Structure 1
Amino acid sequence: MTTQEILQYVKEHPSGKVKLVFADIDGILRGKYISTEKFLSVAENGMGFCEVIFGWDAGDEVYDNTTFTGWHNGYPDAPARIDLGTFRKIPWENDTPCFLGEIMTKDGDPSPVCPRQLLKKVLNDANTAGYTPFFAQEFEWFNFAETPQSAQDKKFVGLTPLTPGMFGYSILRSSLKNDFFNDLFDLLKKFGVPLEGIHTETGPGTYEAAITYSGILEAADRAILFKTAVKEIAYRHSIMATFMAKINENLPGCGGHVHQSLWDSGAKKNLFHDEQDGGKMSGLMKSYIAGQLYCLPQILPMFAPTINSYKRLVEGAWAPTTLTWGIDNRTVALRVLSGSSKACRLETRVMGADVNPYLAMAACLGAGLYGIQQNMQLTQLPVKGNGYKDTSNGVLPGTLHDATQKMKASAVAKEIFGETFVEHFTQTREWEWRQHLKAVTDWEYKRYFEII
Structure 2
Amino acid sequence: MAIGDDLTQLTHSDLPELLKDDISVKVGGTDIDGQVRGKLMSKKKFLSISKSGFGFCSVIFGWDMHDQTYYKELKISNKENGYRDIVAEVDLSSFRRIPWENNIPFFMCSFREPEGTSLSACPRSLLERAVAKIEKSGYGAMAGAEYEFYQFRAPSATNGPSGERNSSATATFLRDNPVDSLPSLEEGMFGYSLTRPIHNQDWYYGVFDACSKFRCDIEGWHTESGPGVYEAALEYGEIRQMADRAALFKLTVKNISSKFGITPCFMAKPRQGLPGNSGHMHVSLVDKKSGANLFARDSPDPNPPFADVEHLSDLGRHFLAGILEGLPDIMPIVAPTVNSYKRLVENFWAPVTVSWGLEHRAASIRLIAPPTCPPKGTRFEIRVPGADTNAYLVLAAILALGWRGVEKKLALPIAPLARGQDVGGEDDKGERLAKNLKDATARFVRKESIAREVFGDDFVEHFAGTREHEIRLWDEAVTDWEVKRYIETV
TM range (shorter): over 0.9
Answering whether residue 398 of structure 2 is matched by residue 353 of structure 1, we say no
Query: CA–CA distance in 1 between the matches of 2:213 and 2:66?
Result: 31
| Whole-angstrom distance in 2 between the partners of 1:123 and 1:214 | 14
**1:29 matches 2:33:** no
Report the counterpart of residue 291 of structure 1 in structure 2: 322
Matches within 5 A, 1:237-276: 237-274=260-297, 275-276=299-300
Say whether 1:228 aligns with 2:228: no
The answer to whether the 8 Å contact 1:151/1:159 transfers is no
CA distance in 1, matches of 2:171, 2:288: 49
Q: How many residues align?
A: 450
Alignment partner, residue 424 of structure 1: 462
Contact 2:146 2:232 in 1 (8 A): yes
Residue of 129, 139, 146 corresponding to 1:138: 146
**Rounded Cα–Cα distance in structure 2 between residues aligned with 1:136 and 1:267:** 20
Alignment of 1:46-445 (within 5 A): 46-65=53-72, 66-146=74-154, 147=166, 148-155=168-175, 156-274=179-297, 275-277=299-301, 278=307, 279-338=310-369, 339-384=373-418, 385-389=421-425, 390-409=427-446, 410-445=448-483
Q: What's the CA shift for 1:412?
A: 2.0
Counterpart in 1 of 2:4? none
Gaps of 5+ in 2: 1-6, 155-165, 302-306
User: Separation in 1 of the partners of 2:473 and 2:135?
Assistant: 40
Report the residue type matching 1:62 in the other structure: T
On the 8 A contact 1:145/1:160 being kept in 2, the answer is: yes
Give the Cα separation in 2 of the matches to 1:7 and 1:319. Answer: 50
2:172 corresponds to which letter in structure 1? Q
Alignment partner of 1:12: what SS?
coil
Change (3 A) 1:7 1:426: farther
* Higher mean displacement: 175-184 or 118-127: 175-184
Query: Please, which runs of 5 or more residues in structure 1 have no aligned partner?
Result: none
Percent identity between the two aligned chains: 42
Offset at 1:154? 4.1
SS at match of 1:210: strand
1:145, 1:76 → 2: CA distance? Answer: 40
Deviation at 1:411, TM superposition (A): 3.8
Distance apart, 1:377 and its partner CA = 0.9
User: Does the aligned pair in 1 maintain the 2:422–2:428 contact within 8 Å?
Assistant: no
| Alpha-carbon separation, structure 2, partners of 1:337 and 1:426 | 32
Contact 1:303 1:355 in 2 (8 A): yes
Q: Which amino acid aligns with 2:368?
A: L
- Helix, strand or coil: the match of 1:41? helix
TM-score, with structure 1 as normaliser: 0.97
In the alignment, is the contact (CA less than 8 A) between 2:138 and 2:288 conserved in 1?
A: yes
In 2, Cα distance between the equivalents of 1:154 and 1:397? 30
Q: Confirm or deny: 8 A CA contact 1:64 1:70 kept in the other structure.
A: no
Residue 269 of structure 1: CA displacement? Answer: 1.2
SS of the residue aligned with 1:109? coil
Secondary structure of residue in 2 paired with 1:80? strand
Q: Secondary structure at the match of 1:189?
A: helix
CA RMSD of aligned residues (A): 1.3
3-state DSSP class of the match of 1:387? coil
Moved more, 148-157 or 273-282: 148-157
More displaced stretch, 235-244 vs 278-287: 278-287
SS of equivalent to 1:314: coil
1:167-197 deviation digits (Å, cap 9, x = unpaired): 1111111222121111111110111011111
1:161–1:262 CA distance, 2 compared to 1 (3 A): same
| Partner Cα separation in structure 2 for residue 360 and residue 267 of structure 1 | 26
| 1:370-401 residue CA offsets vs partner (Å, 9 max, x unmatched) | 11111111142210111231441211011111
For residue 196 of structure 1, give the secondary structure of its aligned residue in structure 2: strand
Q: 1:18, 1:36 within 8 Å by CA — same for their partners in 2?
A: yes
Instruction: Report the alpha carbon displacement of residue 68 of structure 1 after superposing the two structures with TM.
Output: 2.7
Change beyond 3 A, Cα 1:360–1:166 = same
* Bigger mean CA deviation after superposition, 194-203 or 264-273: 264-273
CA spacing shift, 1:183–1:358, aligned 2, 3 Å: same
Moved more, 50-59 or 381-390: 381-390
Aligned AA (1:81): E
SS at match of 2:19: helix
Q: Which amino acid aligns with 1:59?
A: H
Q: Distance in 2 between matches of 1:378 and 1:425?
A: 29
Amino acid at match of 1:221: D
8 Å contact kept, 1:244–1:353: yes
CA distance in 1, matches of 2:83, 2:251: 26
SS in structure 2 at match of 1:143: strand
SS of aligned partner of 2:393: helix
TM-score scaled to structure 2, two decimals? 0.90
The 1:120/1:23 distance shift into structure 2, 3 A limit, reads same
